[in-house]
Amino acid sequence: MSLELSRFLAEKGNEVHLFVARVSKRYPATYIVPPNVHLHYVPFGTDGNLTRPLLNAVLLKRLTNKVNPDWIISLGMQYKLLKTTGLLGSRKVLLSERNYPPKFYEEKELDFVSKCYELATMVVFQTKEAADCFPNVDPSKKKIIPNAARVSSNRWTGLASKHIAFMGRLTRQKNPEMLIEAFVFFSRNHPNYHLDIFGDGELRKGLETLVEKRGLSAAVSFHGQCSDAVERAAKCLMYVSTSDYEGISNSMLEAMSLGMPCVCTDCAGGGARSVITDQINGILVPCRDPDYLASAMARVADSEELANGIGRAARESMARFSAELIFKEWLKVLS
């Protein structure tokens, strides 16, 4: 999101500076930064020194004053630094909530974030449900802008496939255990299907153990982080998301942009339901109900007409999430 937004703003004639935290000179850049965006590595320390947060704040403020931007944009990161430096409240700052706050933050963190949003010039939320979590923030400061769907040259080609794709971090939020348990039910009547899990996280080892206990080792593959995950997922029959809470899932938008049938939990935060109309351009299922999820997966597997229909409608529905339209909304906020 940061790179895509930076690229768009630069292409519109703005001078864009991207600040990237780097704790080591050996730490490589993960993404390719557009040549028309000025990249700055901020050497934040993480050595446990009690004065380190203050030193990091000094570094950030020094660099910010040197660049002297008209706007500072922070996508759900470094709020503490912005507040410590005094930049939040003294400069034009746009903050953006990228998740569902009551689930994502602990209570004390939520109070702090709320205070930061009150100090900010503008706050962008992905969904109304997230925006409504902060009643103390001036409504005129709030703007709801969904994620942009990343355009891919790939198209869904998995109608005849017996593979099911999951793309996401293996964390509690994503609840991948639900997918494993649903696949147990699904496999009873669909024994030749395979589950492909693209992503990594702290739950991976436990999930691998769960798969082994359920006797699914030959039917489930953990691929880890893959640069070609979207391309490989495009060859699968369907995409499944089992999150307990979300903003708007990037991987869901990517799958829908492929024209791929998507089965997603109607999770807290409202992201999935703001994009998917149930049974039209995807299928919504309750959270933490593996039996219901298995049934929805079976409906897609058993009906080419349904799979083709919701896949085609998914791709068509992505027009309103195009990067051009979404980032123009950001530009309006900054104007």
Kindly list the averaged pLDDT for each block of 10 residues, start to end, along the chain of length 335: 91 93 55 86 64 78 94 83 86 95 93 95 97 97 94 91 98 98 98 98 98 98 95 98 96 97 97 97 98 98 98 96 96 94
The confidence score (pLDDT) of residue 58 equals 86
Question: What's the domain range around 240?
Answer: 163-319
Task: Indicate whether 93 belongs to any domain.
Answer: no
Three-class HEC string of 111-161: HHHHHHHHHCCEEEECCHHHHCCCCCCCHHHEEECCCCCCCCCCCCCCCCC
The confidence score (pLDDT) of residue 287 equals 98
DSSP per residue, 162-210? -EEEEES--STTT-HHHHHHHHHHHHHH-TT-EEEEEB--TTHHHHHHH
Number of domains in the chain: 2
The confidence score (pLDDT) of residue 52 equals 64
Contacts by residues 280-286 (CB-CB < 8 Å, ≥ 24 positions apart)? 280/310, 280/313, 281/256, 281/310, 281/313, 281/314, 281/316, 281/317, 282/256, 282/310, 282/314, 283/310
294 and 173 assigned to the same domain: yes
Task: Indicate whether 134 belongs to any domain.
Answer: no
The confidence score (pLDDT) of residue 47 equals 57
167 and 315 assigned to the same domain: yes
30 and 167 assigned to the same domain: no
Task: Indicate whether 80 belongs to any domain.
Answer: no
The confidence score (pLDDT) of residue 83 equals 86
- Residue pair 12/28 in contact by the 8 Å Cβ criterion: no
The confidence score (pLDDT) of residue 42 equals 77
At 291, which CATH number? 3.40.50.2000
The confidence score (pLDDT) of residue 264 equals 98
The confidence score (pLDDT) of residue 276 equals 98
